[in-house]
Amino acid sequence: MNKVTDTRELGKMIRARRKELGYTQAFVADFAGVSASFLSELENGKETIQLGKAMEILGLLGMDLSLVKRGDE
């Protein structure tokens, strides 16, 4: 499991998974109902992204977001 400590790390993980699946930004954006610019901003770690849309993209890419208390890792 990878630890996400900021939006940049989350973006890198999303980009890596998208590329692993062979998806273009345009394909993922269209399928998730978001703009390509939103997906680009998400992948680049923009801090003001909309969490609901980000969660939808994570689901589309077969990823889960888990929260654990520090020290319980």
pLDDT at 73: 63
Summarize pLDDT for 23-36 with one digit per residue, the tens: 999 999 999 999 99
Question: Which pTM value belongs to this model?
Answer: 0.83
d(CA 44, CA 33): 19
Please list the pLDDT of the chain residue by residue as tens digits (73 residues): 677 878 899 999 999 999 999 999 999 999 999 999 999 999 999 988 788 899 999 999 999 888 778 876 6
Mind listing the domains of the chain with CATH numbers? 7-60 (1.10.260.40)
Residue 50's closest CA among 35, 61, 64, 69? 35
